[in-house]
């Protein structure tokens, strides 16, 4: 069992020992609650725990990996959600269990898991999860432990003083001490300043983090928020709604929940919802007259549990689903009695039981005060909220009059007979509603069964394993996903021979210099591509490339890299088994015999492919440690899957970069003519910038539809031909004549300009891959016309992508020297280390990072200023490099990537 590295110790102002704490019913971007909203490229997903005391979770939304990956048989105590994933705290083991997809947080029980650790609360940020340990007997008294997993967060933190609750923002976390009720935050505050702005002297009832801010309900029920608001240009107000999240309404509130740049709260007076801060225009407004018990927010989408017998959640904001067809628990179950200021929720129609563990209950915060014209008739007690009634002697509102008159009037038979049809109508409605819910549920179950290949024994085994998961992590799907996770599964030659129909001509899908690729179908029906080294080729070289590819692919994992499923090495045979890419290679589309393929690859599709390929390469350079240099980026190695997403393939020539990438590898050149970096070719000087050069050639190829080297033209080399034309401002001269020029030619001009920078002679003068990615992303945003295009014709991954820019901000700040974009291009090679997906770093504070940054700055011979290390500086330098983004583009990117 792995152990978590020791973290830092935070001193609490007051040391008070409280053995247990009541969860205060707050749910934010990532706090634990009975409901959670995940966000990300596939749109929002609502998950909630059933109100029937079973503690079972159900999810609704567009992200199939969350909806169908939900652990329907594991009882959960509470939920939290991040970017593309949801986690629940297992009721029986008090350990987190996550599902969905996020490359930074391990699905199942996150790893490394401290043996025997049990947690009382979990909270998820964009790409991480933190959990507050339950105090154990042997543990030092007065010390609280928080374990975190995920991007730049994997560490165990020790705090002196008991902690009441934790909450996670986009890339930071906060907690609240149980003793003095003060808040503290840690993590990356780039762009939010949440950590430095944390109020030291304010005492809270509860806190809840949003994307870049935190809001807390103070002891007097007023709300106080701190952190970053989205400031917007006047010009964009017609496109997007705006508001300052720190401008909090004056209403007293019982709880708050934070979204990306907004927050919503439940008003103490009437339990109605009020939201403030930034909102996307055309988003659904929060319900006006609905009373709610619990809130959860994700990005721009918020849901609340209606404070009525139905307990059905209702959602608002951008994305949907808007109403959830199930009753959910209005809070999480606590084993302690409800403390002062809280009352026990009793659901009359469910016999009061919403919690499974004996002696546990949902505690809801008491409302404070009564609405105008009413007086408090009963105080909040252990089993009910305070009651408010109209003062019938001085009615000033219609509500009051009708309420008072109905109370005074004796109930007559006439009234009863009037009410009868209403009752019948309500009953009929309830029956119709219940049948439609059951129908939807049946359909969901059928769909789930169809999409799940688990057999009954598998599920039983899964269940058994899940209950003893501290010994073995649980896998949700033992099929293709598992194959990918275990990776590099060994196949026999016979199996693959059978799968490909004996490697027959009819299953041949492509030929490379040293290999043939065949389509095959495995025994379980999985369609695969089998790459077979050609016999005539150099066996030693083949074996080396085979092992390079096998080694690299089995360690890398990114949506835009081709997944390796397995291999076979028998006798002289070397076979690699990949996911099958239904639409072949980009080369086939651009230069294949079928001209219609080329025309169908319109500008939006082409630029999308460029963005996706850039992301794959950026991952190799920036996330793998040491970085991976592909060495053979070209259109035939960009494959296109069934959903028209690009995948970077062919790692046969890839090399791991040196640990210190300032010292380039001296490698004899290899690759493909036309794409080969001249510096590498001539000087054998290989860095990640060699891939940038090849990618520049690829961009020119995408724009022009010409091959990298095409001798049918007078100027056969694409770089020699295109760059002078682009530099002369004649971009239209290089655009593919097979397509009509786009409505937004500026987008292609930006790509052409980026391509020119990529193919500069000296590697140090080329932008690094993350800058290139940002440039093509911006071009795509521009090409799409509207920065808030809600109905994209593109794969949602690109248009509705996650908060990539934010992530990147933190990635930059987590680099050794603060921000790549704060530095010169010469520094790019020094700075290409980011958290790889399979290696986790201990979390460092931003101040630590800054001092590291300073240190690197000192080492840097060119000694340029790093600025303040803020995201703003990063963007400024980025703009110098690739040109400024318009306010609309900026917003689009900030919101979508």
**What is the SS3 assignment for 264?**
strand
Q: Which is nearer to ligand ATP, 522 or 866 (CB)?
A: 522
* Stretch touching ligand ATP by CB under 6 A, among 243-251, 347-355, 492-500, 507-515: 507-515
Q: Which is nearer to ligand ATP, 650 or 822 (CB)?
A: 650
**Whole-number minimum distance, CB 513 to ligand ATP, in Å?**
3
Contacting residue, 85, 212, 514, 897, with ligand ATP by CB under 6 A? 514
How many residues sit close enough to ligand ATP to count as binding (CB under 6 A)? 24
DSSP 8-state class, residue 134: P
**Whole-number minimum distance, CB 229 to ligand ATP, in Å?**
46
**Which residue has tokens 């543990």?**
139
Which two three-digit tokens encode residue 701? 């190829």
Q: Which is nearer to ligand ATP, 190 or 585 (CB)?
A: 585
Per-residue binding string, ligand ATP, 250-289, x by CB under 6 A, is: ----------------------------------------
Q: Which is nearer to ligand ATP, 650 or 770 (CB)?
A: 650
Contacting residue, 145, 581, 611, 731, with ligand ATP by CB under 6 A? 581
**Whole-number minimum distance, CB 587 to ligand ATP, in Å?**
6
Which two three-digit tokens encode residue 628? 């991976």
Contact between 371 and ligand ATP by CB under 6 A: the answer reads no
**Whole-number minimum distance, CB 649 to ligand ATP, in Å?**
6
* Stretch touching ligand ATP by CB under 6 A, among 159-167, 211-219, 509-517, 743-751: 509-517
Distance CA 399, CA 414 (A): 22
Contacting residue, 126, 632, 691, 873, with ligand ATP by CB under 6 A? 632
Per-residue binding string, ligand ATP, 44-83, x by CB under 6 A, is: ----------------------------------------
Burial (Cβ within 10 Å: 0-12, 13-18, ≥19) of residue 238:
exposed
Distance CA 393, CA 406 (A): 14
**Whole-number minimum distance, CB 572 to ligand ATP, in Å?**
18
Contact between 585 and ligand ATP by CB under 6 A: the answer reads yes
Catalytic residue, chosen from 632, 677, 827, 890, is 632
Q: Which is nearer to ligand ATP, 589 or 850 (CB)?
A: 589
**Whole-number minimum distance, CB 588 to ligand ATP, in Å?**
6
Phi, psi of 503 (to 5 degrees): 50, 40
Do the beta carbons of residue 665 and residue 744 sit within 8 Å?
A: no
3-state DSSP percent of the chain in helix, strand and coil, to 5: 30, 25, 45
Q: Which is nearer to ligand ATP, 120 or 637 (CB)?
A: 637
Nearest in space to 485 (alpha carbons), one of 471, 473, 494 = 473
**Whole-number minimum distance, CB 508 to ligand ATP, in Å?**
9
Q: Which is nearer to ligand ATP, 515 or 774 (CB)?
A: 515
Distance CA 746, CA 878 (A): 18
**What is the SS3 assignment for 697?**
helix
**Whole-number minimum distance, CB 500 to ligand ATP, in Å?**
12
Distance CA 662, CA 678 (A): 18
Other beta carbons within 10 Å of 204: 25
Residue 597's region, left for phi above 0, alpha for psi from -120 to 50, else beta, is: alpha
**738-to-25, 352, 605 alpha-carbon distances in Å:** 59, 69, 14
Q: Which is nearer to ligand ATP, 509 or 753 (CB)?
A: 509
* Stretch touching ligand ATP by CB under 6 A, among 74-82, 285-293, 506-514, 844-852: 506-514
Contact between 578 and ligand ATP by CB under 6 A: the answer reads yes
Distance CA 640, CA 626 (A): 27
Per-residue binding string, ligand ATP, 839-878, x by CB under 6 A, is: ----------------------------------------
Q: Which is nearer to ligand ATP, 189 or 579 (CB)?
A: 579
**Whole-number minimum distance, CB 613 to ligand ATP, in Å?**
14
Contacting residue, 517, 620, 676, 759, with ligand ATP by CB under 6 A? 517
Which two three-digit tokens encode residue 497? 């021979």
Contacting residue, 243, 584, 792, 887, with ligand ATP by CB under 6 A? 584
Contact between 529 and ligand ATP by CB under 6 A: the answer reads yes
Contacting residue, 513, 596, 712, 861, with ligand ATP by CB under 6 A? 513
Which two three-digit tokens encode residue 830? 């020094």
**What is the SS3 assignment for 478?**
coil
Do the beta carbons of residue 649 and residue 638 sit within 8 Å?
A: yes
Distance CA 250, CA 563 (A): 53
Which two three-digit tokens encode residue 779? 């071009």
Q: Which is nearer to ligand ATP, 317 or 510 (CB)?
A: 510
Do the beta carbons of residue 764 and residue 829 sit within 8 Å?
A: yes
Is 691 assigned a catalytic role? no
Contact between 580 and ligand ATP by CB under 6 A: the answer reads yes
Distance CA 514, CA 587 (A): 18
Contacting residue, 512, 592, 658, 674, with ligand ATP by CB under 6 A? 512
**What is the SS3 assignment for 520?**
strand
Distance CA 755, CA 767 (A): 10
* Stretch touching ligand ATP by CB under 6 A, among 194-202, 288-296, 580-588, 866-874: 580-588
Do the beta carbons of residue 152 and residue 843 sit within 8 Å?
A: yes
Distance CA 79, CA 86 (A): 7
Nearest in space to 892 (alpha carbons), one of 236, 299, 235, 210 = 236
Distance CA 220, CA 204 (A): 9
* Stretch touching ligand ATP by CB under 6 A, among 189-197, 430-438, 486-494, 508-516: 508-516
Q: Which is nearer to ligand ATP, 232 or 601 (CB)?
A: 601
Q: Is 689 annotated as a binding residue?
A: no
Q: To the nearest 10°, the Cα dihedral for 865, 870, 873, 875?
A: 140
Other beta carbons within 10 Å of 432: 10
Which two three-digit tokens encode residue 356? 């499974």
Contacting residue, 353, 463, 486, 511, with ligand ATP by CB under 6 A? 511
Per-residue binding string, ligand ATP, 633-672, x by CB under 6 A, is: ---xx-x---------xx----------------------
**Whole-number minimum distance, CB 539 to ligand ATP, in Å?**
16
Strand locations in 139-261 (E): 143-150, 155-160, 163-168, 172-177, 183-187, 204-209, 213-218, 223-227, 253-258
**Whole-number minimum distance, CB 512 to ligand ATP, in Å?**
2
| Binding-site residue positions for ATP | 531
| Binding-site residue positions | 531
Binding residues for ligand ATP (CB under 6 A): 509-515, 517, 529, 531, 562, 578, 580-581, 584-585, 587-588, 632, 636-637, 639, 649-650
- Active site (catalytic) residues: 632
């Amino acid at each position: 069992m792995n152990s978590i590295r020791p973290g830092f110790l935070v001193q609490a102002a007051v040391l008070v020992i409280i053995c247990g704490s009541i969860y205060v019913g707050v749910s934010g971007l990532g706090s634990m609650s009975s409901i959670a909203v995940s966000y990300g490229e596939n749109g929002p997903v609502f998950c909630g725990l059933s109100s029937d005391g079973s503690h079972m979770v159900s999810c609704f939304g567009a992200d199939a990996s969350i909806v169908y990956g939900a652990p329907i048989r594991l009882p959960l105590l509470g939920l939290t959600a991040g970017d593309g994933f949801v986690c629940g705290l297992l009721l029986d083991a008090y350990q987190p269990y996550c599902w969905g997809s996020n490359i930074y947080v391990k699905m199942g029980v996150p790893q490394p898991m401290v043996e025997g650790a049990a947690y009382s609360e979990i909270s998820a940020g964009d790409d991480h999860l933190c959990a507050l340990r339950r105090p154990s007997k042997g543990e030092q008294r007065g010390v609280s432990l928080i374990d975190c997993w995920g991007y730049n967060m994997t560490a165990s933190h020790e705090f002196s003083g008991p902690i009441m609750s934790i909450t996670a923002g986009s890339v930071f976390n906060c907690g609240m001490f149980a003793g003095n009720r003060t808040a503290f935050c840690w993590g990356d505050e780039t762009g939010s300043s949440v950590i430095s702005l944390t109020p030291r002297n304010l005492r809270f009832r509860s806190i809840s983090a949003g994307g870049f801010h935190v809001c807390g309900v103070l002891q007097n029920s007023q709300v106080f928020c701190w952190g970053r608001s989205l400031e917007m240009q006047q010009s964009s107000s017609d496109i997007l709604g705006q508001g300052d999240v720190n401008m909090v309404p004056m209403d007293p509130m019982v709880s708050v929940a934070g979204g990306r740049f907004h927050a919503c709260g439940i008003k103490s007076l009437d339990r109605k919802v009020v939201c403030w801060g930034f909102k996307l225009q055309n988003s659904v407004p929060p319900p006006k007259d609905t009373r709610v018990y619990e809130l959860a927010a994700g990005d721009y989408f918020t849901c609340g549990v209606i404070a009525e017998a139905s307990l059905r959640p209702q959602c608002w904001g951008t994305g949907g689903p808007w109403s959830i067809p199930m009753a959910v628990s209005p809070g999480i179950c606590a084993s302690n009695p409800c403390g002062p200021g809280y009352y026990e929720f009793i659901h009359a129609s469910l016999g009061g039981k919403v919690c499974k563990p004996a002696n546990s209950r949902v505690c809801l915060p008491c409302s404070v005060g009564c609405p105008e014209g009413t007086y408090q008739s009963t105080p909040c007690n252990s089993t009910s909220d305070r009651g408010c009634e109209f003062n019938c002697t001085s009615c000033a509102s219609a509500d009051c009059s009708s309420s008072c008159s109905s109370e005074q009037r004796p109930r007559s038979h006439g009234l009863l007979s009037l009410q009868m049809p209403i009752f019948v109508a309500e009953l009929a409605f309830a029956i119709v509603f219940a049948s439609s819910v059951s129908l939807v549920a049946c359909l969901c179950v059928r769909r789930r069964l169809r999409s799940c290949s688990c057999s009954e024994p598998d599920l039983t085994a899964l269940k058994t394993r899940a209950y003893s998961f501290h010994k073995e992590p649980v896998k949700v799907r033992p099929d293709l996903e598992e194959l990918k996770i275990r990776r590099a599964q060994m196949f026999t030659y016979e199996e693959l021979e059978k799968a490909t129909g004996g490697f027959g001509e009819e299953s041949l899908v492509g030929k490379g210099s040293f290999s043939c690729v065949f389509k095959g179908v495995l025994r379980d029906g999985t369609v695969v591509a089998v790459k077979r080294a050609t016999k005539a080729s150099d066996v030693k070289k083949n074996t080396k490339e085979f092992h390079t590819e096998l080694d690299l692919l089995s360690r890398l994992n990114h949506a835009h890299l081709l997944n390796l499923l397995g291999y076979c090495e028998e006798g002289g045979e070397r076979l690699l088994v990949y996911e099958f890419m239904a639409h072949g290679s980009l080369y086939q589309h651009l230069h294949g015999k079928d001209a219609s393929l080329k025309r169908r690859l319109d500008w939006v599709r082409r630029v999308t492919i460029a963005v996706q390929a850039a992301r794959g390469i950026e991952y190799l350079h920036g996330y793998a440690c040491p970085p991976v240099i592909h060495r053979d980026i070209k259109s035939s190695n960009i494959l296109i899957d069934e959903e028209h997403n690009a995948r970077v393939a062919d790692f046969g020539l890839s090399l791991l970069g040196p640990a210190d990438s300032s010292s380039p590898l001296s490698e004899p050149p290899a690759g493909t003519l036309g794409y080969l970096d001249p510096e590498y070719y001539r000087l054998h000087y290989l860095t990640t910038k060699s891939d940038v050069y090849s990618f520049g050639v690829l961009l020119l190829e995408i724009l022009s539809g010409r091959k990298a080297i095409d001798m049918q033209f007078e100027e056969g080399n694409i770089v020699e031909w295109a760059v002078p034309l682009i530099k002369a401002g004649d971009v239209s001269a290089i655009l593919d004549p097979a397509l009509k020029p786009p409505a937004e030619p500026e987008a292609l001009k930006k790509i052409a300009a980026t391509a020119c920078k990529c193919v500069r002679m000296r590697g140090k003068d080329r932008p690094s891959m993350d800058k290139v990615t940002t440039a093509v992303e911006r071009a795509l945003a521009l090409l799409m016309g509207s920065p808030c295009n809600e109905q994209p014709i593109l794969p949602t991954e690109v248009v509705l992508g996650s908060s990539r820019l934010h992530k990147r901000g933190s990635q930059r700040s987590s680099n050794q020297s603060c921000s790549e974009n704060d530095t010169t291009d010469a520094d790019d090679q020094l700075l290409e280390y980011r958290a790889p997906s399979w290696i986790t770093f201990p979390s460092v504070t931003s101040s630590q990072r800054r001092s590291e940054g300073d240190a690197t700055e000192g080492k840097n011979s060119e000694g340029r200023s790093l600025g303040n290390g803020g995201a703003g500086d990063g963007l400024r330098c980025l703009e110098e490099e690739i040109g400024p983004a318009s306010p609309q583009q900026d917003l689009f990117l900030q919101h979508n990537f």
